[in-house]
Amino acid sequence: MQEIVHLINEMSPYLLLGFLFAGLLHSFVPSKLYNKYLSKPTFGSVVNAALLGIPLPLCSCGVIPTAMSLRREGASKGATTSFLIATPQTGVDSILATYGMMGLPFAIVRPVAALCTALFGGAAANIFGKEEDGNTAAATDHDHCHDDHCECGCGDHSHSRHRNKLVEALHYAYVDMIADIGKWLLIGLFVAGLITVLIPDNAFTIFHGNTLASMLLVLCIAVPMYLCATGSIPIAVALMLKGLTPGAALVLLMAGPACNFASMLVVKKVLGTRSLIIYLASIVIGAVGFGYLIDFLHFGGYVNFLGSLQVAGVADSCCTPHDSWFAWLCTTALLLLVLNALVLPKLRRHKKQEENKTTENMNVRIYHIEGMNCNHCRTAAENALRDVDGVMSARVVLETKEAFIEGPASEEALRKAVESVGFTLVD
């Protein structure tokens, strides 16, 4: 238990700061900026997609509706693939947490590896995926809101807009994001604690001198399961302290967040089988390639990728350093935020039940949406439904996977709108 508590204390300041940066990016960087530079099937659009995606704190499920929305807005297949590969591997929150727990070398290598694999995959998709058509909708303009574009030049309006944006950023950072990854972060810390306690010290030294075997083992574990970019960090740290090579740990950090069965199925459905093969091959080849590079630099004595791990304090519980009051304060705040994220779904379900009682006699249709896993998914589905002709109002509840639609829009139009962002509408 002491090891887990210290892990949280080490990560919490960087996580809280990373969440804040993520919220500011979400609220103050307009979505049109992402769409503007991704439309042409050129290597430049692939580069732009990777650079735009790396700082975004989207998990492997949350990145799917965002990428599908970009594709629907006209982003090229290569740019979409590049975005899908780069974004879930990193994010400002996970980069800062990587620095806090694993040191500067890993914090630098991780986004560089994500960038290189994204460029490779995006370029390959542009070259080999041209003849394959995905099931994407035609590009349309979804920006119907004019509230943030007042042309009167009024200072009060400007002040109000910035205040609302800041509130939105804080809500996104410390409510929506934590609701999305809080559970996975706790799971990652719990698994790291189990690894520390149950696996013998130096258990992975049997792979010393056989880097490929350790990487293949990690790939078999990481590819099918879900790991968020931040939640994978304590697991990687714990495995490295048990003897796993730094290169194999990097494979876990790259392949775990970027691959899982859900994302693979959606990529196949929307971009096609050939693009899915390119997507997986890019991640696996990039992870193994950078893993070999990391082990070469580490075992060759050029860079010490293990030196900072002793700071994590999980190697020897009797020598665990005392955590500062600031670390405990950040941990307390983080745990309260996670608790808030776990309690809110119950309150939303209760609110939904009350709303259902008041809408029984109204012209409201209820559908089930399959494939949603986070608030990014909910927002993408909700926006897609609201853009359908004939929809007067649309509300999506993530916890129950239900959509409440008011208006005469046809069911076929609703189904196509939901499918265009990677989900399935069911009666």
- Which pLDDT band holds residue 195 (cuts at 50, 70, 90)? low
> Does the CA dihedral 283-285-289-295 come out positive or negative?
positive
**pLDDT for 38 beyond 80:** no
Structure token digits, residue 154? 């009024």
Determine the average pLDDT of the residues in 62-76: 69
Determine the average pLDDT of the residues in 413-422: 86
Q: What was the pLDDT predicted at 291? A: 92
**pLDDT for 111 beyond 90:** yes
Determine the average pLDDT of the residues in 326-330: 87
Determine the average pLDDT of the residues in 157-162: 63
Q: What was the pLDDT predicted at 300? A: 83
Q: What was the pLDDT predicted at 112? A: 95
Determine the average pLDDT of the residues in 31-49: 78
Cβ atoms of 182 and 337 within 8 Å: the answer is yes
Q: What was the pLDDT predicted at 375? A: 75
Q: What was the pLDDT predicted at 117? A: 95
Q: What distance, in Å, lies between the first and last C-alpha atoms of the chain?
A: 46
**pLDDT for 153 beyond 60:** no
Q: What was the pLDDT predicted at 226? A: 66
Distance CA 392, CA 144 (A): 14
Distance CA 90, CA 327 (A): 23
Amino acid at 220: C
Cβ atoms of 88 and 279 within 8 Å: the answer is no
- Which pLDDT band holds residue 315 (cuts at 50, 70, 90)? very low
**pLDDT for 51 beyond 80:** yes
Give the side-chain half-sphere CA count within 13 A for 31. Answer: 13
Q: What mean pLDDT, rounded, does the chain reach?
A: 76
Domain ranges across the chain:
2-329, 359-426
Cβ atoms of 401 and 205 within 8 Å: the answer is no
Q: What was the pLDDT predicted at 15? A: 73
Alpha helices in 273-372 (DSSP H): 273-299, 325-358
Q: What was the pLDDT predicted at 313? A: 43
Q: Per-residue pLDDT tens for 388-414?
A: 988 888 888 887 888 888 888 888 899
**pLDDT for 147 beyond 50:** no
Most confident of 179-188, 280-289, 388-397: 280-289
Give 105's strand partners: none
Hey, what long-range contacts does 323-331 have (CB within 8 A, 24 or more apart)? 323/6, 323/9, 323/10, 326/13, 327/9, 327/10, 327/12, 327/13, 328/9, 330/9, 330/12, 330/13, 330/15, 330/16, 331/5, 331/8, 331/9, 331/12
- Which pLDDT band holds residue 96 (cuts at 50, 70, 90)? confident
**pLDDT for 330 beyond 60:** yes
Q: Per-residue pLDDT tens for 244-260?
A: 889 999 998 998 888 86
Q: What was the pLDDT predicted at 317? A: 40
Q: What was the pLDDT predicted at 289? A: 93
Q: What was the pLDDT predicted at 157? A: 54
Q: What was the pLDDT predicted at 212? A: 81
Q: What is the DSSP annotation of 23-65? A: HHHHHHS-HHHHHHTS-SSSHHHHHHHHHHHTTS---TTTHHH
- Which pLDDT band holds residue 199 (cuts at 50, 70, 90)? low
Alpha helices in 92-244 (DSSP H): 92-102, 104-128, 155-171, 177-198, 211-222, 232-241
Distance CA 377, CA 185 (A): 19
Q: How far is CA 311 from CA 101, 237, 257, in A?
A: 7, 11, 24
Q: What was the pLDDT predicted at 364? A: 83
CATH number belonging to the domain at 359-426, selected among 3.10.129.10, 3.40.1710.10, 1.10.357.10, 3.30.70.100? 3.30.70.100
Distance CA 78, CA 84 (A): 10
With pLDDT > 90 as the criterion, what percentage of the chain qualifies?
11
Determine the average pLDDT of the residues in 193-212: 65
Q: What was the pLDDT predicted at 204? A: 65
Higher pLDDT, 82 or 131: 82
Q: What was the pLDDT predicted at 138? A: 36
Lowest mean pLDDT segment, chosen from 31-40, 61-70, 284-293, 309-318: 309-318
Q: What was the pLDDT predicted at 381? A: 86
Q: What was the pLDDT predicted at 319? A: 42
